[in-house]
Amino acid sequence: MRRFSTAVLAALTLAATVTAVPAAQARAHGGRAPLGIGDCTATACHFDVPSGTYDVRVVLGGDTASSTSLTGETRRALLPETTAPAGGRVVRSFTVDVRTPEGEPTGAAGTAGLDLAVGGAAPALADIRVTPARHARQILLVGDSTVCDQSAEPYTGWGQQLPQYLRKGVSVANHADSGESTVTYLGNPLLWATVRTLIRPGDLVLIQLAHNDKTTDEATYRANLETLVAGVREKGGRPVLVTPVVRRWFSADGTLNNPTALLVNGLGVDHPAVIRSVAAAQDVALIDLTARTKELVESLGVEGSKALYLYNEKRDNTHTSVHGATVFAGLVRDAIAALRLVPRGTVRVG
């Protein structure tokens, strides 16, 4: 027989009491109760909903001290570990994107509906409500494997960790895909053509494509970025160009000043420099993630920076660990807040 923690059992017992729904309220939801704790087990929830954007309100806590986190769909971090004192309750809300495929656009379809996993050191989910989001703003992500919702551990994209830094009212729709360059992203109907149909007026579209443009000449690379920017604006969205995360390739002097680290390809195309140039010429918001990650990686040094990447697991100096993706997503969060790209109060800082 499977054993659950005391905190989880106490929380679920409490939930059976707090989630009773009057008959009139059930009728208002098509003859059934609103989606809630009845759709959960001790460690997971499944909500049979169509693709769309949903607000999720959770009540955390139990009879004993608890610490709970929530992930959803393809390993997306939706709520960071949140503590509640013994007998106390903490309410948190977030907005989540539900779609098929639920992870990478060219990957497996995954499970239909919304799936949430309850985790943390001492998880206690006391109540939950899932309702269609009425006025949410989207942050759509266009990118490569350093951004995407990676399906298998230990690989993790920074876009996979970004949702936990946002509150109700803003969802992250991650349409980044492994192995994509500006050329292939524009050319695949599952990617750019699909993203364009989803952009609504006021939505942000963060674009980070460079790692796989190894054979793209500068004129083509620049033109592709301009095409992406124009396509977002034609739909009423707000493009945001993001320079790529650095590769962990140290020079002899302990800096990341070699071409491999700074995404200069074999043709001599300095991708971050071109992105900065296009952003300035097109009056586009810029998140200089190359500069931010370079500063951070260099500050940690050769040894300390290994934990950000999959060096220890895979001898991989390009793809990030869960820890590294979380840290890099935090840098994106800081930039979004500093540039005031989303409504005030929707960025989670703690």
Q: What is the DSSP-derived secondary structure letter of residue 162?
A: G
d(CA 240, CA 283): 10
Residues 118 and 172 in one domain: no
Task: Compare 42 and 85 and report the one with higher pLDDT.
Answer: 85
Structural domains in the chain (count): 2
Residues 322 and 239 in one domain: yes
Average pLDDT value over all residues in the chain: 91
Residues 218 and 284 in one domain: yes
Query: Is residue 7 predicted with pLDDT exceeding 50?
Result: no
The pLDDT-based confidence of 349 (bands split at 50, 70, 90) is confident
Residue ranges with strand state E in the chain:
35-36, 44-47, 52-60, 66-72, 76-84, 90-98, 114-122, 125-132, 137-143, 170-174, 204-208, 238-242, 285-287, 309-310, 316-320
What is the pTM assigned to this prediction?
0.90
The per-residue pLDDT for 109 is 87
Q: What is the per-residue burial (b if ≥16 Cβ within 10 Å, else e) of 80-102? A: bebbbeeeebbebebbbbbbebb
| Domain stops at, among 133, 164, 191 | 133
Residues 68 and 154 in one domain: no
Residues 166 and 270 in one domain: yes
Query: Is residue 31 predicted with pLDDT exceeding 80?
Result: no
Query: Is residue 286 predicted with pLDDT exceeding 50?
Result: yes
Residues 124 and 61 in one domain: yes
The per-residue pLDDT for 80 is 96
| Domain stops at, among 133, 151, 183 | 133
Q: What is the mean pLDDT of residues 44-68?
A: 97
Residues 95 and 229 in one domain: no
d(CA 92, CA 56): 8
Q: What is the mean pLDDT of residues 79-86?
A: 97
Query: pLDDT tens across 296-335, in order?
Result: 999 999 999 999 999 999 999 999 999 999 999 999 999 9
Report helix, strand or coil for 273: helix
Token pair listed for 290: 């190359």
**Distance spanning both ends of the chain, measured CA to CA:** 37
Q: What is the mean pLDDT of residues 154-163?
A: 98
Query: Is residue 47 predicted with pLDDT exceeding 90?
Result: yes
Q: Which has the closest alpha carbon to 172: 267, 85, 97?
A: 97
The pLDDT-based confidence of 21 (bands split at 50, 70, 90) is very low
Residue whose tokens read 């939930």: 15
Residues 145 and 292 in one domain: yes
Residue 336: which domain range? Answer: 135-350
Give residue 277's identity as a one-letter amino acid code.
S
Residues 53 and 143 in one domain: no
Query: Is residue 223 predicted with pLDDT exceeding 90?
Result: yes
Asked if residue 37 lies in contact with residue 125, where contact means CB atoms within 8 angstroms, the answer is: yes
Residues 75 and 179 in one domain: no
The CATH number of residue 346's host domain is 3.40.50.1110
Q: What is the mean pLDDT of residues 120-126?
A: 97
The pLDDT-based confidence of 110 (bands split at 50, 70, 90) is confident
The per-residue pLDDT for 350 is 61
Residues 207 and 105 in one domain: no
The per-residue pLDDT for 33 is 53
Length reported for the chain: 350
Residues 261 and 280 in one domain: yes
The per-residue pLDDT for 344 is 87
| Domain stops at, among 63, 98, 133 | 133
The CATH number of residue 122's host domain is 2.60.120
